[in-house]
Chains A and B, each alone.
Chain A
Amino acid sequence: MENIIEVSSLAKVFANQTAIESVDFQVKQGEIFGFLGPSGSGKTTTIKILTGQLTPTSGTANVFGESVSQLKKSEYRRRFGVLTDNSGLYGRLSIYDNLKLYCDLYDVPHSKIDEVLDAVNLKEEKSKKVSSLSKGMTQRVTLARALIHEPELLFLDEPTSALDPTNSLHIHEGLRALNAKGTTIFLTTHDMHEAETLCDRVAFLNKGKIQLLDTPDKLKKRYSDSTITVELTNGEKVILPAGSEGANQLFEYMNTDQVVTIHSNEPTLGDIFVQVTGRKLA
C-alpha cells in the first residue's frame, strides 16, 4: 500500500521549547491512523506541520508524496481536510451559512450541506446561529466543515473531545463509513477506547519521539503477560499464570464447578501507554 504521509526525523523547536524532537512514521493510504500522546506531547504541532500551518525546524514531512511546503498550492489543499481544536466558525452566522461559504471556497454544490449535516446529526438545526450552539454541536459543525469537500486525507485533532457517548458513537460510525469509501484518517485523541475501536494502527508520542507504533491488537498481544483471571463461585478472583501450572489449576477449578467467569488479561492501550511512558494520558 502506498504511503500518503511520510515523516522522518521531524523536529519543531519553538523559541524556548522543543515541541517534537525527532518523529518518524508513515501513514498508509486508506488507513485510520491514531496519533496518541499526553497533553503537550506535540500532537497538534505535528498536524499543523503536516497541513502547512507551521514550518518544521528540521526533518522531512511529505504528504501526497510532496514536501509539505507544497501544500500552499490550492490543488493540494483541496485534497485534505482539517479539524483542529481551535478551528473557527463564524459565530454570527447560521450553521448553513458557515457551510455554504466552504462549499463555495471548495467548489462543492450546496446540496452537499444537508448530506454532511446528516452525517453529524445536525440537519434539524441548520438555521441555528453557531454562537448559540453547545460545545459538542460546535465540534460537529467543525467536523462537517472538514468533510464537506470529501477530502482524500482527513486530519482530526480530538474530534470527539466535547461529545457525549451517543454522538461520539454516531461520529465513529460516520468516520468508519468515510474510511470504507477510501478516506485516510489521521486522528489524535485522548480517548483510548476510541483509538482501540477506530484505528488500524496507533502511534504513541512521548518526550518528542514515537515510542511505539503498531496495530492495537499486536500491541496488546506484545504487552500481554498471558495470565488469565478466573472468578470463582465463592467470589474470589484468582490470577493464573501461563503454562502448565496455570492450566492444571484451571482444570481443577473447572472440574469442581467453581468457575463463574474467565478473563484473559490483555492490557488496554491505556495500560500500555502508562507502562511505556510512565505517564498517564490526558
Chain B
Amino acid sequence: MMISWKRVNAILQKDFKDFSRNLAVSSVIFVPIILGAFYGRMGVDSIDTHFMLVNMTFGMVAAFVQCCLIAEEKEKNTLRGLMLSPASTADILGGKSLLTFIMTMVVVFFTVYLAEYKPANVAIIAAAIVLSSFFYIALGTLLGLYSKSVLEASVIVMPVIIVFSLGSFITLVVEKYPILQVATYLPNIQLVELATKVEAGAGFGGVLVEFAIILGWVIASLILTVVIYRKRMVD
C-alpha cells in the first residue's frame, strides 16, 4: 500500500487546528498530567501506580480522543469526503492517527516525568509504550468507526478506559477467580509485567514474551481496523 506523506501531513495539520479548537475533547489530555503531578508530589512510587497513569493515558488520549476524532468525521460526513479523494486507506488512517500518537507520547512523557517514574531501562520502556499506543489508537479508531456520533462514541469508549486503566487491580481479582486468567494477556497487564521485570533488572531478552503478546494485539487490532474501514467505505 502506498502512503503519501503530503496527504498524511495535510490531514495531521487539519486535525491539529480542529482539535485545538475542540475544547470538549482536547481538555481530556490534561487529566493524566494533573494526576501524574499529584502522585509525584505525594511521593507515590510504585510500578503499579506509574503504569496506572500510563494505561490511563492510553485509554483517555489514545483510545478516547482517537475514537472521538473518527466519530466526528463520520457524524459530520467529512470521512466520506476523505474517502472519495485520491487518498489511500493508509493515508487516511495514518493521517487520522498521527495527531493522537503525538499527543499520547507527549502526555505519557509529562505524566511519568511529573510522577517521577525513572525506568531502569528507558529504551525498553519507551519501545513498549510506543508499541502499546498503536493498539489503543487502533482500538479507538475501531470504536469510532462503529459509532454514529461523537456522543455515542464517548459512551462506548468509557468501559475501555476503565478496563485498561485498572491494570493491577485486575491481577488481584484474577487471583481469586482463575477463569479470568486470560485477562492477564491483555496488553495493559503485559505492559505492567514488562515494566516490573525491567525494574528487577531484565534486559530486552527477558521481556520478549511480553513484547510478542503486545505486538500480537497491535497486529490483530490493525488488521481489524483496516477491514472495518474498508467495509465502511461502501455502505
Contacts and interface: CB of A to CB of B under 8 A. Distances in A.
A90 B14 contact: yes
Given A53-B235, A54-B234, A104-B7, A93 B14 contact: yes
Interface string B209-235: 000000000000000000000000111
Q: Is the interface of A mostly helix, strand, loop or mixed?
A: loop
A87 B76 CA distance: 8
Contacts of A91: 76
B87 A74 contact: yes
A82 B85 CA distance: 10
B21 A54 contact: no
Interface string A107-133: 100000000000000000000000000
Contact of B233 (A72, A87, A107, A145): A72
Contacts of A53: 80, 84, 233-235
Nearest to B2: A74
A97 B234 contact: no
Nearest to B13: A101
Contacts of A255: none
A102 B11 CA distance: 9
Contacts, number: 71
Contacts of A90: 14, 18, 76, 78
Contact of B85 (A72, A75, A93, A106): A106
Contacts of A145: 81
Interface residues of A, number: 28
A279 B21 CA distance: 47
Contacts of B85: 77, 102, 105-106
A101 B235 contact: no
B30 to A, nearest CB: 20
Contact of A52 (B18, B82, B234): B234
A72 B232 CA distance: 13
B235 A54 contact: yes
B83 to A, nearest CB: 8
B210 to A, nearest CB: 39
Interface string A39-68: 000000000000111110000000000000
Contact of A97 (B17, B77, B235): B17
Q: Is the interface of B mostly helix, strand, loop or mixed?
A: helix
Contacts of A55: 234
Contacts of B184: none
A107 B18 CA distance: 22
Contacts of A86: 77
A52 B82 CA distance: 13
Contacts of A89: 76, 78
Nearest to B8: A104
B190 to A, nearest CB: 37
Contacts of B11: 101
A220 interface: no
A170 interface: no
Contact of A105 (B76, B82, B235): B82
Interface in B1-43: 6-7, 9-11, 13-14, 17-18, 21-22
Interface of B: 6-7, 9-11, 13-14, 17-18, 21-22, 73, 76-82, 84-88, 233-235
4 tightest CB-CB pairs across the interface, nearest first? A104-B10, A88-B77, A74-B86, A88-B78
Given A53-B235, A92-B22, A105-B86, 14 more contacts: A51-B84, A52-B234, A54-B234, A74-B87, A77-B85, A86-B77, A88-B76, A88-B78, A88-B80, A90-B14, A102-B85, A104-B6, A105-B7, A105-B10
11 contacts: A51-B84, A72-B233, A74-B87, A88-B73, A92-B18, A101-B10, A101-B13, A101-B14, A104-B10, A105-B10, A105-B82
